[in-house]
Structure 1
């Protein structure tokens, strides 16, 4: 691994996450003592300021890109692909997992895992597996791959390393850390004042309870408060938190389309919770997505007010986005052939009437592209839901449409 390359092996790098999380300077101190509010991303403003907005291929996609303020990912896919570095590779239980990284031109390198059936050279349908929010930013896509994230996998993913399991079903799967998670996290070693104040309060509660937090728990507490600061910075720069996440996801989609053994004419996306919201946005922004799945991330905006606003992050609640229509109507903006939305009837983050209304809106769209399914239980991507999702993607990404395959340079 090259010096300065982030650890993407699944063991979280604790550099920049000291137990103290820095010291809280007096607000009366001179400006020279004020810590950076965007640690590790000081080159972000110049990157956004010199790039045009993402150019979509449909007017519906362009309206969404403009509302989110999505900066253009590198126009030439080779610009990102040429920076892809293979960190390591191993094969277990019939699946080959490659740890890779790439540079987007600002902030730290993106860490990712490319997973596919061992011995299969393709062309295979490609799926971008989008990790959830979960309030855990010390890690990212590792929760979809690494057995050391077993606690989170047990709580949210039915005990499965989902991307590994999905690859075993016959897909080439790319799972990457997106903007502000894992390898793409902010450096909060010396947190900004507001973040530091929140963390000091959280540490006091831990001390009272006799809890000694880990470095990752300290970071996640800081990152939860810091997301508000990142959203402020995004708005000031003419973008949004969700727009920056979409930027990273669009770049990862281009990487997936160019990886060996991937059929660029058969690409899909899948995500649970915050990853489901990312799947909605990505499909509406890129025609490369032919089929997608959204799990436990669909409701109407009005159902969130007044009781459910605090249940969600800036990924869902971009200012002004509702002017384009309700959240389910954003999913219908995609050009995908088919998409599946899975709802959990006892989901703690969404009222049932909001999910039912969203299902009705999507069902009434008249396109015939939408499938909805309702499941018992709370906010989790159960193994039964995963089985349905994989079968749906297999049905709608195989076999390759001949015209689409030729269009994307496949033979």
Structure 2
């Protein structure tokens, strides 16, 4: 009998690791409730970091890093700093989006010159106005860390051969490609399989007492600690940010980590009521943790870490959110920050689900102001 492909190939050590890790206890009552709802594993000491290579490109020093988590393959990350800079800099952990693209991880946020792949170039053109956000942040004077999180890039699950249900869906996708005369690339094949496999990951996480969003949050917390331990970073001046799924990750991370002073949430703000039912399928499991909405509405997560300043960027033509959901969230956020001027800034843009040049410039200005001495 042919062995059945593992539904968690590459992460067979995940269940045993979770039994050893325990649970995140939070830094206050609200963060404890959030950590429990997401099933976030307990923090671990920042793992040793290996520098694989370094280069200077267009005014930015780029280092490729690796570290090992208690389960799964090595995590790849990139540290970007202004070339020739000495002394500690304010740090930024910028979190990559979901984008239905798990073939790529954090590399979508960097410009590595001639080494930049066609897949990265296409994604940057389609979603980031042609910009490499991490490079722009570094040129603005920050020490920037970007990393592959759970199920992306170097942290991908192995889906060749795919589990049975994923294989069935992938066969249907291949038949449609054939009918359309499309020759799929390896990244297209993987992303099609990964979209189906995310449901399997979420089910597995639930059985293990965590959640898909909880595992991503755990790995983001580790990356934040890695950033804060780097000698080039002033660990008391650290911000986080991201676009789309990365913006949602930044919001959750800021709530779980009191060390975060500033957070940019780009194109990822709504009330939960604004999602159901018509917009549920537009989003991943990162925004659909069972039971979370009984404890918090999405904008209410900004009230967990009261020391953090927030820039929330809304795209008025964003098809992934209802206008009502975004406006209601803006009103909630304004009310929560009513007694703390400057703690919340809501900015609106005439755009779809993309990072515009104006959004990026506003994020740079906000982070420079929020992380200044």
Q: State the TM-score bracket (shorter-chain normalisation).
A: over 0.9
Pick from 132, 154, 171 the counterpart of residue 142 of structure 2: 171
2:51 corresponding residue in structure 1: 86
Deviations 1:229-254 (A, max 9, x none): 00000000000000000010000000
Task: State the Cα distance separating 1:324 from its structure 2 match.
Answer: 1.1
CA distance in 1 between counterparts of 2:307 and 2:69 reads 26
Task: State the Cα distance separating 1:263 from its structure 2 match.
Answer: 0.3
Q: Output the aligned Cα RMSD.
A: 1.0
Which secondary structure does the structure 2 equivalent of 1:175 belong to? Answer: strand
Which secondary structure does the structure 2 equivalent of 1:353 belong to? Answer: helix
Which secondary structure does the structure 1 equivalent of 2:274 belong to? Answer: helix
1:182 corresponding residue in structure 2: 153
Task: State the Cα distance separating 1:135 from its structure 2 match.
Answer: 0.2
Between Structure 1 and Structure 2, how many residues are aligned? 364
1:387 corresponding residue in structure 2: 361
Task: State the Cα distance separating 1:360 from its structure 2 match.
Answer: 0.1
* 8 Å CA contact 1:283, 1:334 repeated in 2: yes
2:322 is the alignment partner of 1:351: yes
* 8 Å CA contact 1:342, 1:375 repeated in 2: yes
Task: State the Cα distance separating 1:93 from its structure 2 match.
Answer: 1.8
Name which of structure 1's ranges 332-341 and 311-320 shifts more when overlaid on structure 2. 332-341
* 8 Å CA contact 1:257, 1:263 repeated in 2: yes
**1:10-409 mapped onto 2 (5 Å cutoff):** 33-74=3-44, 76-77=45-46, 80=47, 82=48, 84-146=49-111, 147-148=116-117, 149-365=120-336, 366=338, 367-368=340-341, 369-399=343-373
CA distance in 2 between counterparts of 1:335 and 1:315 reads 23
CA distance in 2 between counterparts of 1:91 and 1:375 reads 34
* 8 Å CA contact 1:54, 1:71 repeated in 2: yes
TM score, norm. by length of structure 1: 0.87
* 8 Å CA contact 1:100, 1:111 repeated in 2: yes
Task: State the Cα distance separating 1:335 from its structure 2 match.
Answer: 3.2
Which secondary structure does the structure 1 equivalent of 2:126 belong to? Answer: helix
Task: State the Cα distance separating 1:343 from its structure 2 match.
Answer: 0.2
CA distance in 2 between counterparts of 1:386 and 1:98 reads 23
Q: Give 5+ residue unaligned stretches, structure 2.
A: none
Which secondary structure does the structure 1 equivalent of 2:54 belong to? Answer: strand
Name which of structure 1's ranges 334-343 and 301-310 shifts more when overlaid on structure 2. 334-343
Name which of structure 1's ranges 48-57 and 160-169 shifts more when overlaid on structure 2. 48-57
Which secondary structure does the structure 2 equivalent of 1:303 belong to? Answer: coil
* 8 Å CA contact 2:254, 2:308 repeated in 1: no
